[in-house]
Structure formats: C-alpha cells, structure tokens
Chain A
Amino acid sequence: MKKDELIHMWQEGNDRMFMDEQTDKDMITKYLSEKTLKGNRKINFNLVFYGAIQLANIILLSMNLAGYMNNPAIIWILIPQLILTIGTLVFGIDVFYKFREINNYSESLQKLIQKQLWFYRRPYELWLVLASISAIILISNLNLYIDNDNGSYVINNKAMFVGVTLLAFLFIYGTQKAASLLGLRKLKAYLSDLQQGVLDFSEGIERTKKRYLWLWVAVCLLLTASLIIGILTALK
C-alpha cells in the first residue's frame, strides 16, 4: 500500500458515501438556536436546582430569624447560615457563568481540557461542598421552623442528630461527586494521552492535585463537623 493510499481511499469513498446526505440552509439556520439542542437544559440543572434551594433557605432563615427573635443562641447560628447561603448563591451564579465560558470550543483541545479540568477541580468542587451544606441547612431550618416551641428548640438525641446530619452531607456530596467523576476521568485520560511524552512533569502535577483534593475534602468534613458541634453547644 502506498503512503497516500489511505488519503485517496478516504477522499474517494467519502464523496460517494455522503452523496445522499442532505442538510439544507434552512435546517442549518434552525440548528443555530439553543432551544433545538437536546439535553442542553439538563446540563445546568444542578446549578439551578441548588440555586432554588438557596433561595428557599434565605426565606426559611428569615422566617426562623423572626421566629427565634428572643433566642440569642439560635440567632447567632442563623446569621452565619444566612451569610453562607447568600455567599453560596452568588458563588453559584459565578460558577454558572464560568461553566458557560469553559465550553468555548474554539481553543486547542489541550487548552480546553485543561480549562475544563480546572473548572471541575476548583470552582465546581468548592460549589459541590457548599451546595451539599446548603441542603443540610434547608433540612435543619425546616426542622427549626416546624419544631419552633415559642422561640426555643430542643434536640432530643444529640449523637443521633450529629450522625444523621454528617451522613446526609456525605450522601448528598457523594452522589454529586460520583456523577461528575465519570466525565472527569474521561478528561484526565484525554489530557494524559495528549501530554504523553510531551510534559514529563504532568504526572507530578496530577499527584499534587490529588493530594490537595483529599486535603480539601478533609478540611470540609472537619468544618462541617465543627459547625454541627457548634450548633449543639449553642443549643445546650
């Protein structure tokens, strides 16, 4: 087989193969609208869904602030939660726009993959943790609202409360993380394939990033645990 036989085969065969394919200009014009894109709305579902949770949190927290007006211990727990919720909502909007930016397909493949990996490892990862915390805030504030006993609130089984809250956080975070892992693995495989023999230090970078990820997860767990312990101490 000659060197250019593959190219020849490719050109001749393709000319015949796509002879019957028809995409007219009207069809192309129709495809320019985002609305016709199947599945496009699903992609930002997470960001919008948790955005709605944070809005619900703001309303609930405001109602609880009014309901527990005469209970300073609870007020001092609710105010940081409100600040955290507003912060998460603003950060979520920023992540939403960043997500749109990283899908700029006119960059080189390598740059695009690096950008997407950065997005999933940094802002999206932080957002995942915050979103999971906001789900916990929603549950605890619903309880606070329902069980409001003239401005006081009692936790009957504290150990159970801490355990269930931690488990709920891990479950919410874990399921979200697992859903994004598959795409992340694919991106990593592409990047390592692209960098094979090009960047000798890429593996080192990957290892360092992995170490930081674990450190970040540990810090988040520690912070959540201390938040719950703080709530319990304040409620005593």
Chain B
Amino acid sequence: MIKQVPDKAYFVEMVYSNMGIIYKICKLYADGEDREDLKQEIIYQLWKSYPTYRGDSKFQSWMYRVALNTAMLGLRARKMKYTGLSDQELKTSEDPFEKQDEETRVKLLYKQISKLKDLDKTIIFLYLEQCSYEEIAEITGISTKNVSVRLVRIREKLRKNLHIQNSKS
C-alpha cells in the first residue's frame, strides 16, 4: 500500500484560515509564555495527525479535536498550571457588565470559563463555537445526552457568575 504524502501547502492554508480556533484554545488553556508554546505544539500535533484526517468530516471539527486534546493532554499540559487571565489582561472599567464593550465582556467570559474544570471548559468552548451536540459528543467521547445535561449546568453557572460579577463591579 502506498502511503499518501500529506499536502503541506493545503494544510498550511487550512490552518492559517482557522488560526482563530488555535488562538481561542490557547487563551483558554494557557497563559504567558505557555500560550505561545501551546500554539506551537498544537500546530505541530495537527501536522503530525494530518495523515489521519480522512476528509469525511469538516476540517474544523478535526482541528477542534486535535487542538483540544493537545491542550488537555499534550507536553505543555503536563507542566502547565493555568491561573486564568492576568489582571493586566482583565482591565475593566467601572461600568456595569451590560455596558462594557464587547472585548471586555468576552474577557470576563474567558475568566469565568477558565475557572471551570477542563472537560467543562472543552464542552462550553465547543458550544460557543456553535458545534452541534453530536460533534461535541464525538470530540469528547461522551454521549449527546450527557453533553446536553452538562451544557445546561455549565451555561447556568456561567450566567450566574457573570451576573454576580456584574453586580460586584
């Protein structure tokens, strides 16, 4: 059997057009210098796993899977101790939550998500990226029923915490 040679140029093009996925995952799972290292490791692992991409699923779905697995179980993950967004990154005004600009609000959302357990973090991230329950189930390996039950709980928690934060700030 002849082993197919992966098309490097196509791969680079696809990763380049989906870099947003990698930025978001890095921001969720790493901080400081680790973020750059994680970005590098994700790209390397994507390339290493590329021969297993059969093309029958969306490139993005496959990318979510490899990138999230790398963030949770890769080299960096063994050493990383993520402490959430830094105070510098989280500079917010005294305005109520609803009046904060979009960037500040998403930073607060990141902060709340970073407090979740890694698996819950993965599930809510995929939900926010508008993946279907089936896709989330396939990526994590749990049932769609379990995904929906967990999502209700996580969303509820996030809403509650963002509201608490709102009243505090």
Chain A interface residues (CB < 8 Å from chain B): 1, 6-7, 9-10, 12-14, 16-18, 21, 23-25, 28-29, 31-34, 36-40, 43, 103-113, 116, 182-183, 186-187, 190, 193-194, 197-198
Contact = CB atoms under 8 A, between A and B. Distances in A.
Contact of A29 (B12, B68, B75): B12
Contacts of B47: 31-32
A165 B38 CA distance: 42
25 contacts: A10-B129, A17-B106, A18-B20, A18-B23, A21-B23, A29-B12, A31-B44, A32-B8, A32-B12, A32-B44, A33-B44, A37-B40, A37-B75, A39-B37, A39-B75, A39-B79, A105-B70, A108-B140, A109-B141, A110-B141, A111-B141, A183-B78, A186-B78, A187-B73, A193-B117
Contacts of A187: 73
- Mostly, the B contact residues are helix
B31 to A, nearest CB: 15
Nearest to A37: B44
B106 A12 contact: yes
Given A6-B128, A38-B37, A193-B119, A25 B103 contact: no
Nearest to B163: A1
Contacts of B141: 108-111, 194
Nearest to A13: B106
A105 B128 contact: no
Closest 7 CB pairs of A and B: A13-B106, A110-B141, A108-B141, A105-B69, A31-B43, A106-B49, A10-B128
B88 interface: no
Contacts of B122: 109
A39 B79 CA distance: 10
Interface of B: 8, 12-13, 15-16, 19-20, 22-24, 37, 39-41, 43-45, 47-49, 52-53, 62, 65-66, 68-70, 72-76, 78-79, 102-107, 109, 117-119, 122, 127-130, 138-143, 146, 149, 155, 158-159, 162-163
Given A13-B109, A183-B78, A105 B73 contact: yes
Nearest to A196: B146
B107 A13 contact: yes
B146 A197 contact: yes
Nearest to A3: B155
Contacts of A25: 12-13, 16
Central interface residue in B8, B69, B158, by most chain A CB within 10 Å: B69
B23 A108 contact: no
Contacts, number: 147
Contacts of A21: 19, 23
Nearest to A197: B146
Contacts of A43: 75
B66 A7 contact: no
A32 B106 contact: no
Contacts of B107: 13, 17
A198 B158 contact: no
A28 B69 contact: no
B16 to A, nearest CB: 5
A37 B149 CA distance: 38
A105 B102 contact: no
Contacts of A13: 102-107, 109
B59 to A, nearest CB: 12
Contact of B143 (A33, A111, A183, A198): A198
